[in-house]
Amino acid sequence: GESVGLHLPTLSVQEGDNSIINCAYSNSASDYFIWYKQESGKGPQFIIDIRSNMDKRQGQRVTVLLNKTVKHLSLQIAATQPGDSAVYFCAENNNYGQNFVFGPGTRLSVLP
């Protein structure tokens, strides 16, 4: 069946450096993708989304890149801060906002 997965389960970066979190998806029919941040003890928090008719989208300090050719999604965080430490999930959807499939998550640790 379709699945969404992450290449790296953990990522440690130095404060101030850029972070790149990757996600592979297998359902070529997916047309909408979201990155979520989940801090300990809290629910997932929407970061940024992208539709399949785009290959890049920028937010505040975050950029999502979509490569449909290789079914790869990445989240770039510029100037990583201690408050960015969390688990990051990608999620895919191909049914106009109904059933989202989540990846297992990558834990980002920001080192002082």
Please give the residue ranges that form the binding site for other proteins (CB under 8 A): 32, 34, 36, 41-46, 49, 89, 91, 95, 97-105
| Nearer to other proteins among residue 40 and residue 69 (C-beta) | 40
Instruction: Tell me 52's DSSP state.
Output: T
Shortest distance, CB of residue 15 to other proteins, whole angstroms? Answer: 27
Q: Is-contact 78 48, C-beta < 8 A?
A: no
| Nearer to other proteins among residue 54 and residue 79 (C-beta) | 54
List beta partners, residue 48: 35
Instruction: Tell me 83's DSSP state.
Output: G
